[in-house]
Structure 1
Amino acid sequence: MQLINNFEQLVNGVTLSGTISVFLTMNADLQRLYKYKVHHILAWIGYFAFFMTMYRAYYTSLLPLFGVTSVYFAFNASSFYIIGYYLIPKFLYTRKYSKFFWSVLGLLIVESVGLAIFMYYTFMSTSKEYADKPYMAIFMAFFSIITIAGIMCSIKLVVDKIGLDRSAKLIEQQRIESELQYLKAQVNPHFLFNAINSIYFLIKKDQDQAANTLIRLSDLLRFQLYDCTGEKIAIEKEIEYLRNFVSLEEIRKGNKTKVEFNTAENLQGFELAPFMLIPFLENTFKYVSNFSGTENKIIIKMWCEENVFHAHFFNTTDNLVRTSPGGIGHKNVKRRLELIYPEKHVLNIVERPGTYKVMLSLNVA
């Protein structure tokens, strides 16, 4: 029953991951057989040593014993390689169970009868076993072939399953890395698009301020180019980047918006994935209210407590303008959180009339 379950798991794995079916083709199996030929040679040497030791008492000399063991080896090995490297990939892995069963049964019968006949007429005069009990020839042949082929094919199935799992994990890891690179690549254009919009509106108001803003933008892009190429970035650098971004936005917003950026003193000594916080910060400035008689406010708070990093982003909103939390930036960062911090993050977004708040917690242990 356990062996059948292993078969099902292996077949199910093939069905769920067609991209790794190369491991289940006869051509790939033959390539692996050549690659691991030393393992097979050692296994068959162990086979010879075991059976020559076990059956030494039945033979008058070593030469006939070696001959009998060699013949058994030929039939057992041929059965194993035909089943393991032809019938299993051709029928079992393709869910053709009936063809697999009858093919294996037919092969075992043919191999057993052939081995029994060969052994009986060749070694009858030198083997007490065959001379005294000729009817045992077929039984011994069938038992030997089904035992050796069964054990070795079971080992092959286990090895195939392990290789399949490793390949699936490798492919999944490569897929995640590719997706992360794609999402990270989208962050820069998204940020640049917003920054250029800010400078565009600022040019109409104050060209000198626009020039200073371009310089700050240049610093931010330089930071992205040289400091954010790795998988993680020090929290100190990330906060510095955020503060520069806030400074750039404050130039555009002027005195109409009150900005509070508070960070705890213990925010040091750990790393975050780069560009994880900037989409939320962008969102606060993009959708902050623009009232003339009421205070427009943005509040950013960051602190670390018991190896959990907390970042809160709050902004007042114009009730006539929806904050659209499902924009490109938010979608990207949500997906990156799922990939980089699976089950290690909590993201809550609370939207109420007149206010919008994002609360992010990351386990940075």
Structure 2
Amino acid sequence: MKLRPDKQTAINWLLKYKLHHIPFWCVYHYIWWVVAMGNPFHVASHIAFSIYAFKFWSYVTFQALAVYFNLYFLIPKLLEKGKFILYILSLTLTIFASSFCILSGYFLSDFFSDKTFYQLFNIHPNEFMNLVLSTALPSCVASMTLAMSIKLTKNWLQSKRRQQLLEKEKLETELKFLKHQFNPHFLFNTINSIFFLIHKNPDMASASLAKFSDLLRYQLYECNDKQIPLGKEIQYMQNFIELEKLRQNQNVSVELNIENENSKHLGIAPFILMTFVENAFKHVSKDYDKQNTINLDLKLLQNHLYFSISNSISTDANTTSNLISDKGIGLKNVQRRLDLLYPENHNLVIKNGQDFFEVDLDLELNELYINSEASFPQL
């Protein structure tokens, strides 16, 4: 059943601004009042038709504000960044501030009522600290604890689901990548190119064979980690490009600009960049009447990786269509992996021009947390 566009827009607006949480907090505090007073109908009449409504809404409003300030500001800005002492101090101040603000509901009830403060709440107004410590403060702590428990449980479930998707995606990616790379076309053409170089340029043939060996070793042994050193991914990419250049026509120009100093401490998921490089070589134009180009720029600034690759394409409509509908390890696959591995830490822009195809990736990398420097068997 599909919703009308206007209803769907209204629902999206409510979800965006968390307005659907308002009924939750109303029910939550209503239940607490029922526990304290015992009669649910008596509580409902108090909230709806009596002077105590000011008190009720002060609890709903100020505790909700404190909870969301904690969830959407204090936790991301302080707790998740390791500022534990500052977070605890800020959380304590937030709870106390909310508790004192709740007192406004008591005083508003007193202001609009014919009864005295003592008659309404069985406590003298000059003993408001006792009211804070005995009623408002414990209620704020309980609300904060409940909200954090719900949030942590939700985050844990999302993390678990993301991990399951990553494992599934990783298996599919490895199978597809190996199937794509270890195919007779790639192996035979590369070996063929090296074979002809043995007689023409033995030194170049030897260097190419070493690159080919590194390429195979990387795929077999080093691509199984969740993270690998950024330098190894770049080295693999350079070896792949050098081998591909042997197979390309003379009118294909490949330009590289790589600045990756101080990258040893950073890690990256395997084959994130290689997908775009493969795509460029696979779909570069093969026109004989003009120069065909592949341009790659890679720059590292602190922990931000800026990667850009473009290739000329044929003006044939079928070629352009194949770029988008590639069924190998294509653009949709790498976009999915980026969404799973770097959900909030990447920006991918794909430009499909009339005679060029360009990919720009801004990726925030993490510190390398696995030992990927171990030696591997030599092929």
Q: Aligned residue for 1:288?
A: 284
Distance 2:190 2:232 in 1: 29
Matched, 1:187 2:173: yes
Q: Aligned residue for 1:359?
A: 360
> Where does 1:1-365 land on structure 2 (aligned, <5 Å)?
5-6=24-25, 162-195=148-181, 196=183, 198-199=185-186, 202=189, 208=195, 219-266=214-261, 268-269=263-264, 270-305=266-301, 307-320=303-316, 321-322=319-320, 323-325=322-324, 327=326, 328-364=329-365
Deviation per CA, 1:44-81, whole angstroms, max 9, x where unpaired? Answer: xxxxxxxxxxxxxxxxxxxxxxxxxxxxxxxxxxxx9x
Distance 1:299 1:3 in 2: 53
Distance 1:354 1:3 in 2: 53
Q: Aligned residue for 2:124?
A: none
- Output the amino acid matched with 2:314: D
Distance 1:247 1:163 in 2: 53
- Output the amino acid matched with 2:180: N
C-alpha distance 219-207 of structure 1, shift in aligned 2 (>3 A): closer
- Output the amino acid matched with 1:296: N
Q: Aligned residue for 2:55?
A: none
Distance 2:192 2:216 in 1: 24
The structural deviation recorded for 1:276 is 1.2
**TM-score with structure 1 setting the length:** 0.52
Q: Name the stretch that deviates more: 315-324 or 299-308.
A: 299-308
Mapped contact 1:296–1:316 kept (Cα < 8 A): yes
Per the alignment, in what secondary structure is the counterpart of residue 324 of structure 1?
Answer: helix
Deviation per CA, 1:145-194, whole angstroms, max 9, x where unpaired? Answer: xxxxxx99999887665544333222211111121222233333333333
Q: How many percent identity over aligned positions?
A: 27
- Output the amino acid matched with 1:264: E
The structural deviation recorded for 1:290 is 0.7
Deviation per CA, 1:167-223, whole angstroms, max 9, x where unpaired? Answer: 322221111112122223333333333331533672896693699889866643431
Structure 2 unpaired stretches of 5+:
1-20, 45-136, 199-204, 367-379
Distance 1:201 1:256 in 2: 22
Distance 2:214 2:27 in 1: 57
Distance 2:332 2:185 in 1: 22
- Output the amino acid matched with 1:363: E
From the two aligned structures, give the one with the greater helix fraction: 1
The structural deviation recorded for 1:257 is 2.2
The structural deviation recorded for 1:283 is 0.5
**TM-score with structure 2 setting the length:** 0.50
Mapped contact 2:231–2:260 kept (Cα < 8 A): no
Q: Name the stretch that deviates more: 290-299 or 205-214.
A: 205-214
